[in-house]
Amino acid sequence: MKEPMTDARRKQLYRIKKRKRRKQCIRVALRMAVLCFLVLFAVQKTADLLRVDDSDRMEDAEQSYSGQGGKTRTNTEKTWGVFGKADVLTQEDKLHSIEESDEYPDQLKELAEKNSETIDFVYDYPEMKDKKQTIDLSQEAKTDTVPLLLQWDERWGYMPYSGGLLGYTGCGPTNLAMVVLYLTGDKTVTPASVAEYAESAGYSVPGSGSSWTLISEGCEHYGIHAEEVPMDEDRIKAKLDEGCLIIINVGPGDFTDSGHFITIIGYDRDGFIINDSNSRTNSKKRWSYEQLSRQMRNLWAMYN
């Protein structure tokens, strides 16, 4: 007859089973660790092979591009991660590439160095400069607010203007285009079309940008009138209250090292609201009259 199991024996068997299960778990964990290591090792080797193959193809393409067997960093070059994935270049990488390359005009290099907002625009120049752009400002023409148009928008920023590129010298046409687009709703008026008109009518100044007469006289071509406004805060606000927009020419200061056009589109208790065709950041700020007045050189109230 089988003897009944004592509590001590039962506890002993439980401990034995527990130790066995623990050993089994350890063995399974070790096998999984080895398997994971082998998989990662295989992936790494595959990535290395792909990276070498891609580097060879890039080198062949670069040698073909330069014509002399030398390497030219192209606009599509990327850095490569540990698993062979293309990493997006940082703004610092792009700026360094711009500064080191001969593909960029000096004006664009200067633009990228002075205004970090323009780095992507400048970096894309070799690839985009000869592409025909479709410009459709239908949505901008429908808005209830003055649309912010940027002179370095890729849709028009690479076109020649005033001895340079519109993205660098085109603040005059871009500000006038904003005003005309808002006051008339004419979606065919773009910075590109205004720049073409300015050059044909003699309002561009080679190497400098646009003359003041593009604003004071050239606006009539679009059915817009310009009236000089005294440099007085109350007079400026009064014109804005009448529904006018105010185009300002400013000298060296917060907006430029030389000369620049900006547009005052309104005001509130925090200051004046502007559209700066060279900076989204400046356009989001509020500006006091004191800040603007020390840089103002002339002002025109624009109306139709």
Distances (CA, A) of 158 to 114, 122, 126: 18, 9, 10
**Region 212-238 average pLDDT:** 98
Give the separation between CA 101 and CA 104, rounded to whole angstroms.
7
State yes or no: pLDDT of 34 exceeds 60: yes
Options 1.10.15.40, 3.30.70.3270, 3.30.300.30, 3.90.70.10; which CATH number does 138-303 get? 3.90.70.10
Lowest-confidence region among 12-26, 254-268, 284-298 = 12-26
233 compared with 83, residue with greater pLDDT: 233
Is pLDDT at 133 greater than 80 in this prediction?
Answer: yes
Q: In angstroms, how far is CA 206 from the centroid of its own chain?
A: 26
| Type of residue at 238 | A
What local confidence, expressed as pLDDT, does residue 82 receive? 41
pLDDT at 69 over 50: no
Q: What is the mean pLDDT of residues 236-250?
A: 98
Where does the pLDDT of residue 239 fall: very low under 50, low under 70, confident under 90, or very high at 90 and above?
Answer: very high
Q: To the nearest 10°, report the CA torsion of 97, 98, 99, 103.
A: 110
Of residues 59 and 101, more confidently modeled: 101
More confident residue, 18 or 212: 212
d(CA 273, CA 278): 15
191: Cα separation from own chain's centroid: 18
Both tokens of residue 214?
């593009």
Which two structure tokens, joined as six digits, stand for 301? 């109230």
Per-residue model confidence (pLDDT) at position 31: 80
* Position with higher pLDDT, 66 vs 237: 237
pLDDT of res. 70 = 35
pTM, entire model: 0.72
Residues 6+ apart with CB under 8 A from 83: 43, 44, 47
Kindly state the average pLDDT of the residues 91-116.
96
The pLDDT value given to residue 186: 96
pLDDT at 83: 42
Confidence of residue 35 (pLDDT cuts 50, 70, 90): confident
Question: Mean pLDDT across the chain, nearest whole number?
Answer: 85
pLDDT at 66: 34
Average pLDDT (24-35) is 76
Q: Please compute the mean of the pLDDT values over residues 282-288 and round it to a whole number.
A: 98
pLDDT at 37: 74
Average pLDDT over residues 227-243: 98
Which helix (DSSP H) or strand (DSSP E) does residue 227 occupy? strand 225-228
Domain regions of the chain by residue span? 88-128, 138-303
**221/10 Cα distance (integer angstroms):** 104
At residue 65 the predicted structure's pLDDT band, cuts being 50, 70 and 90, is very low
